[in-house]
Structures are given as C-alpha cells and as structure tokens.
Amino acid sequence: MTELKTQILCDDQNGLEQAASILSDGGLVAFPTETVYGLGADACNGHAVASVYAAKGRPSFNPLIVHVADLETAKRFAQFDKTALDLVGAFWPGPVSLVLPLAKNHGLSELVTAGLDTVAIRIPAHETAQALLKAFDGPLAAPSANPSGRISPTSAGHVSSDMDGIIDAVVDGGKCKVGIESTILKIEDDRVSLLRAGGLPVEAVEACLGHAIAKPQDPKTPQSPGQLQSHYAPNAAVRLNATSVESNEVLLGFGADVKGTVLNLSATGDMIEAAANLFAYMRNIDGIAGVEKSIAISPIPMTGLGLAINDRLKRAAAPRD
C-alpha cells in the first residue's frame, strides 16, 4: 500500500466531521468503542472494506461486525425476531454483537458478510462511536484496529503505533472502558448460541433469556462463520490455478491478457479490486456455468490480500460433503 500520513483527530465536532468525510470517500478511520478501537470503513463500499483487510494483513475474509447508531438503522441490514429484540432491549447499546439473517435489499458489501446470508451487527455504547456513526449516517464495518494477530488496541496511541502510515485517520476518544472485544451471539429461529465470549458476560445473557445458551464446546454449537472447509462453494465444480480453459469450463480471470476470461477479478492485477469483486463475481460466474460447465480460476499470487483470496477459493474448491 502507498504510505499515508495518518491524521490524529479530536473527538469534537470538527474532528468527527473530518472522519465522516474520509469514510464517505472510502477511507479508513480508527475510532473508539467501549470494547476496543475499531478500524472503520463504509460497510456498503466493497473497495473500502477490502482496504481494511489489506491494512490489517488479514489472511482470510472472515465476516466483519457492522456498527450502527440505532435500532432503526440496524433493521435496514438485519432481520430481528422476538429473541433478538429482547436482547437488544437488554443490552444495546453495548458490547454484544448479534449474528442475524440479512434483510432484503441491505446494500452491504459481500466482503462484510463473507458471502453468507447473515450479518454480525451491534450498536456501540461509546459516546464518540455514537457521534461518528451519526455524523457518517451509515453502517461501518469495524474489526479491531490492529494488524492481524496482534494485540487489540484500547487507546489511540496503540492504534498509532501499529497503523501509522497505513490508515487515513484515528479519532482519539480516550481509553476503552471494557477493553476486550464484544460478545458474539448467533440467533436462529429464536435459538441463541455463543460464537465468541467477550465484553458481555454469558451469565447476563442467560439471565435475560431465562435459560442456558449453547457454548462453543457443545457439539451442536454453530462454528464461527467461514470455518467450514467447503463453506463458500458455488454449485459448479471449481478448478484453481488454471493457466488455460477447457471446453467444459468458464474462466474467472485475474490480471492482464488472460485468454478466455468470462469475468476478471482485476484486469490490472489489483488485489484490493479483486477482493472487492470476489464474492459477487463467484456468484455471477456460477450462474454463467450453470449445470453443464465447471469454473476455472486463474492463479492469484500468494501475497498481500492474495492470501485471503486464495483461502476463500480453496474453500470453494474443496470436496463437497
């Protein structure tokens, strides 16, 4: 990535307006929540979301948590059943994210959901996060603002030490009060499962519901999205690292001068562009392949976002159950 001059913004009206403008232009802004500092990007802008993965050096496209200002906004992106609304009433704003079915016409980038039919969403309680979300007036995808695998940041100084010159700005809103990531709960048909322990104690969730919830060690507990090897499979069979295309295949290309390409993730070899296009193009080419053809995919370098792209393509090509 081209090195940036990372701005440190105050959490006053002027700073928040600058941050919102950067986000609207597709930039990356770290901001405080009550849990940890998040690396914010417009959740409806695929290129911006891909830039988050690039900035973090994230090796795979796991679903990202969408942050919104209020329940009315959340309902534009997710479907809430009675159980979900009970938890919302008890714990939002707060350090808990709910994994819910996507709403129709949600408009989120497929990189945010990792191509799944669910979205992880929450309303943060931090005053600065709330003010930024209102100034931006939209959903922010915001994983922790640190390089993948590093310790999550709980101050603007932590973010600056890890991300200076990589992201556009940091909004300094002081130290995070909770200091660990949000609890993640999956709600499906009014059943609640714990996907990640975090800032909201499980005991509080169970007290609200009046019963125990499934824990990660329980055999029936759903795993975190993206962990099943064949999870991202299209209907058509997939062949990776194809340097030519057979008569019974359609080719998803990458880079310039790829002969026989039906769709090209990035004709210029731009990894961020390829990442932003990945899930939508996989759906499109699966429809083009239909029942008679399979999908061939050009080699993609194992560098930068190529690691994450190849991770998802490997899952798509895995043997089916």
pTM: 0.84
Domains, the chain, ranges and CATH?
Answer: 7-209 (3.90.870.10), 238-317 (3.40.50.11030)
pLDDT of 103:
97
- DSSP category for residue 266: -
pLDDT at 227: 47
DSSP label at 320? P
pLDDT score recorded for residue 130? 98
Residue 10: beta bridge partners?
A: 172
- At residue 35, the 3 state secondary structure works out as coil
Strands 169-172 and 7-10: parallel
The 10 Å CB-count burial string (b at 16+, else e) for 158-177 is bbbebbeebbbbbbbbeebe
Question: What type of residue is 284?
Answer: N
Q: Compute the distance between CA of residue 254 and CA of residue 258 in angstroms, rounded to an integer.
A: 7
> What are the backbone dihedrals phi and psi of residue 96, each rounded to the nearest 5 degrees, phi first?
-140, 135
pLDDT of residue 134: 97
Q: Report pLDDT for 51.
A: 97
Query: 182, 96 in Cβ contact below 8 A?
Result: yes
* Residues of the chain scoring pLDDT < 70: 1-3, 216-232, 320-321
The pLDDT assigned to 226 comes to 41
Residue 172 pairs in a beta bridge with 10
Cβ–Cβ under 8 Å, residues 146 and 159: yes
Lookup result for tokens 């999908």:
295
Distance from C-alpha of 284 to C-alpha of 111, rounded to nearest angstrom = 15
Environment class of residue 123 by beta-carbon count within 10 Å: exposed (0-12), middle (13-18) or buried (19+)?
Answer: buried
